[in-house]
Amino acid sequence: MKKALVCGAGGFIGSHLVTYLKNKGYWVRGVDLKYPEFSKTKADEFLILDLRGRKNCRKALSVNGGFDEVYQLAADMGGMGFIHSAECDIMHNSALININMAYIAIKEFKVPRLFFSSSVCIYRDMKKGEKEITEEAAIPANPDNEYGWEKLYAERTYQAFARKYGTKVRIARFQNCYGPEGTWKGGREKAPAALSRKIAEVQGDSGEIDVWGDGKARRVFVYINDLVEGIYLVMHSDVESAVNIGPTEDTSINDFASLIAKIAKKKIKIKHIDGPVGVESRNFSNKKITSLGWKPKYSLEEGMKETYLWVEQQVKRRGKSI
Ligand code: NAD
């Protein structure tokens, strides 16, 4: 039985990855600062550890016979509101996790394979309709925020350790991921969950919601099940450089909100207010991931149906978020 360590297993993507690996027959240890809030699938073992500390990284990695695979998803993370207000926390906490995990997992424990979750936030801002860029065109770099810079630094840290100590490091840059069982309130939620919550909180079948900015920014979204399949494919591929995971079709935030309103069967008026918007547009190649056989199974509408219904259930169960 293969053994996998999932760092950040208490979070949105990490908890779904645990389920995926368990279904594939792995023995899985999850590590995080907290237990998963929603997931029903349990890791075989779950350790509460702060991975900013070297001793805790060693505890996470210590297992009889060693881990076959390590998935590093732990990060101080949130949506645009969080990324803009917590840049020191991101630069400090996520960098410490990654510097220590690279050193301990690769140099000391010599794990055979390590996956690192990067982000398309490492790319520069793009104009709408601009020609797509490849993974390699990320350099010269000009990410829009510190979250992107930390990810870029971490990518290079893992790659440097891989070159020197021989671990097979695999890196994926995720598009905006959405789906059930993610953060939906509290300030760290991302646009799909935040918009779903606002629409679910509208009483009756019509109302108004706030949207940050003019709603014309364009984004690509990837459904959680498709993303997790992509992670597994990248981890088991021979591709040593970073790989984007996500479809190529983008949507404006205004159209995205209208899609959710349609799913909710509500008539929603959008009120544009000041707020952190992030980049104008992004257009990345997904040729590398599709060449590995990856194809999204969920359309945005199908994925958002699952997501909205789940968020609506949370709103009904737990009451208003504010
Ligand atoms: P998440 O916040 O739900 O999960 C991250 C987890 O890391 C959290 O459970 C958190 O408690 C844990 N963590 C933070 N600091 C820690 C520490 N010091 N020690 C141990 N655990 C710690 O976020 P997510 O959406 O599941 O993202 C997972 C990974 O994917 C992150 O690295 C994130 O940057 C990356 N990513 C996510 C998206 C997305 O759209 N969600 C997009 C691009 C990249």
The residue nearest atom 11 of ligand 1, judged by CA position, is 33
Residue 274 clears pLDDT 90, i.e. is over it: yes
- Torsions phi, psi for 71 (to 5 deg): -110, 115
Q: Place 322 in a pLDDT band, splitting at 50, 70 and 90.
A: very low
Q: Provide the pLDDT for residue 254.
A: 97
Q: Which residues line ligand 1 (CB under 6 A)?
A: 8, 10-14, 32-34, 50-52, 73-77, 93, 97, 117, 119, 174, 176-177, 183, 190
| Average pLDDT for 195-216 | 95
Q: Provide the pLDDT for residue 278.
A: 84
Q: Place 46 in a pLDDT band, splitting at 50, 70 and 90.
A: very high
| Average pLDDT for 209-224 | 95
Beta bridge partners of 260: none
pLDDT in tens, 142-163: 999 999 999 999 999 999 999 9
| Coil/strand/helix, residue 300 | helix
Instruction: Confirm if 7 and 72 have CB atoms less than 8 A apart.
Output: yes
Closest atom of ligand 1 relative to the 96 alpha carbon: 18
Q: Give me the CATH code for the 180-219+249-281+297-317 domain, please.
A: 3.90.25.10
Q: How far is the CA of 294 from the centre of ligand 1 (A)?
A: 23
Q: How far is the CA of 265 from the centre of ligand 1 (A)?
A: 32
pLDDT in tens, 76-118: 999 888 988 999 999 999 999 999 999 999 999 999 999 999 9
145: number of Cβ within 10 Å: 16
Instruction: Confirm if 167 and 111 have CB atoms less than 8 A apart.
Output: yes
Residue 195 clears pLDDT 60, i.e. is over it: yes
- In a 10 Å sphere around its CB, with 0-12 CB exposed, 13-18 middle and 19+ buried, how is residue 89 labelled? middle
Among 81-85, 117-121, 211-215, 243-247, the minimum mean pLDDT is found in: 81-85
Alpha-carbon distance 253 to 264, whole Å?
16
How are beta strands 251-252 and 221-223 bridged, if at all?
unpaired
Alpha-carbon distance 214 to 319, whole Å?
29
* pTM (2 d.p.): 0.97
Angle at 303 between CA 274 and CA 300, to 5 degrees: 65
Residues forming the active site: 147
Q: Provide the pLDDT for residue 136.
A: 96
Residue 14 clears pLDDT 60, i.e. is over it: yes
Q: How far is the CA of 307 from the centre of ligand 1 (A)?
A: 19
Q: How far is the CA of 74 from the centre of ligand 1 (A)?
A: 5
Ligand 1: residue of 77, 89, 245 to mutate (most ligand atoms within 8 A of CB) is 77
Match 């293969």 to its residue by tokens: 2
Instruction: Confirm if 39 and 23 have CB atoms less than 8 A apart.
Output: no
Q: Give Cα 45 distance to the centre of its chain.
A: 23
| Average pLDDT for 11-18 | 98
Domain covering 3-177+223-245, topology = Rossmann fold (3.40.50)
Q: Provide the pLDDT for residue 84.
A: 86
Alpha-carbon distance 276 to 173, whole Å?
22
Angle between helices 300-318 and 253-264 (to 10 degrees): 60
Closest atom of ligand 1 relative to the 50 alpha carbon: 19
The residue nearest atom 44 of ligand 1, judged by CA position, is 119
Closest atom of ligand 1 relative to the 176 alpha carbon: 40
Rounded to the nearest integer, the mean pLDDT of the chain is 95
In DSSP notation, 189-257 reads --HHHHHHHHHHHS-TTEEEEEEETTS--EE-EEEHHHHHHHHHHHHTSS--S-EEES-S--EEHHHHH
- 106: which DSSP letter? I
The rounded percent of the chain whose pLDDT value lies above 70 is 99
Token readout for 121 is: 């936030």
Ligand 1: residue of 5, 6, 13 to mutate (most ligand atoms within 8 A of CB) is 13
The rounded percent of the chain whose pLDDT value lies above 90 is 91
Q: How far is the CA of 32 from the centre of ligand 1 (A)?
A: 9
Residue 320 clears pLDDT 60, i.e. is over it: no
Closest atom of ligand 1 relative to the 182 alpha carbon: 3
The domain segmentation of the chain, as residue ranges, is 3-177+223-245, 180-219+249-281+297-317
Q: Place 319 in a pLDDT band, splitting at 50, 70 and 90.
A: low
